[in-house]
Amino acid sequence: MKTDATIFVVDDDASMRKSLLWLLRSAGWHAEAYASAEEFLARPPFIGTGCLVLDVRMPHLTGPDLRDRLAACQSSLPIIFLTGHGDVPTGVDAMKKGAVDFLLKPVDDQVLLQAVQRAVEQHQRAQGHAREMGIIRERLARLSAREREVLEYVIAGCLNKQIADALGIAQKTIKIHRGRVMEKMEVSSVAGLVHLCETAGIAPRRQDLTH
């Protein structure tokens, strides 16, 4: 289970923090513990991979309060809630807002470790998707306005003649634009271009086509 991920524990109960740190570190995780939400928020912003094991009921800022603060900052850090109270509405709200799990204290060691593993894997996937989106946006920014139009027709499956008729320009010019689109988007096939556009949520352009 060893990984470069960091597991953050936020709990106002000192004995619980000590127990969780021992468990996580003995399982091979790098772990840090904080006695309050405020203490966690005071640390430098975290840009790595990991998750947050968060107590629900704490003085001042509660676990859900911290979750909301992190969401407002667009943090992608997954959260596992721990609580000593079977508060169903809080649990339902936590899961609706994206918590990986909502576990009751005293939590079974294996159940918690499995939840941590799922949370870290979820974070890795989210970060991978974010990196992919960043690369695609960077490539899209290279396109001229006309090349972007051509791209939208190409991913709709349109032929050069159809695109030329729709845009009122020569097929030869469309061929040049199409080549530049493929070059700037760094793909070698229309299928590859379609995949990038689907990932980025770019819709194909279908209107005003002639046959």
Same domain, 90 and 147: no
pLDDT score for 207: 59
For residue 28, give the H/E element and its range: none
pLDDT at residue 72, as a whole number: 93
pLDDT of residue 90: 75
**Are 116 and 13 within one domain?**
yes
Q: Domain of residue 46: give its range.
A: 6-133
CATH number, position 167: 1.10.10.10
Measured distance CA(126)–CA(202) in Å, rounded: 19
- Which residues of the chain register pLDDT less than 50? 1, 210-211
In a domain, 128, yes or no: yes
Q: Tell me, yes or no, whether 109 and 174 share the same domain.
A: no
Same domain for 112 and 15: yes
Start-to-end C-alpha separation, the chain: 58
Q: Assess contact for 49 and 120: CB atoms under 8 A.
A: yes
Please report the pLDDT score of residue 94 as a whole number: 77
Residue 26 within any structural domain of the chain: yes
Same domain, 110 and 22: yes
Domain count, the chain: 2
Q: Output the pLDDT for position 2.
A: 53
Nearest in space to 77 (alpha carbons), one of 43, 26, 28: 43
Residues 116 and 15 placed together within one structural domain of the fold:
yes
Domain stop point among 110, 133, 156: 133
Q: Do 60 and 94 sit in the same domain of this protein?
A: yes
Residue among 37, 32, 29 at smallest CA distance from 11: 37
Q: Which residues of 77-116 are buried (b: 16+ CB within 10 A; e: fewer)?
A: bbbbbbbeeeeeebbeebeeeebbbbbeeebeeeebbebb
Verify that 123 and 82 share a domain, yes or no. yes
Q: What is the pLDDT of residues 58-110, one digit of tens each?
A: 998 999 999 999 999 989 999 999 988 767 677 777 777 778 999 988 899 99
Q: Is residue 106 part of a domain?
A: yes
Whether 44 is in a domain gets the answer yes
Largest pairwise CA distance in the chain:
75
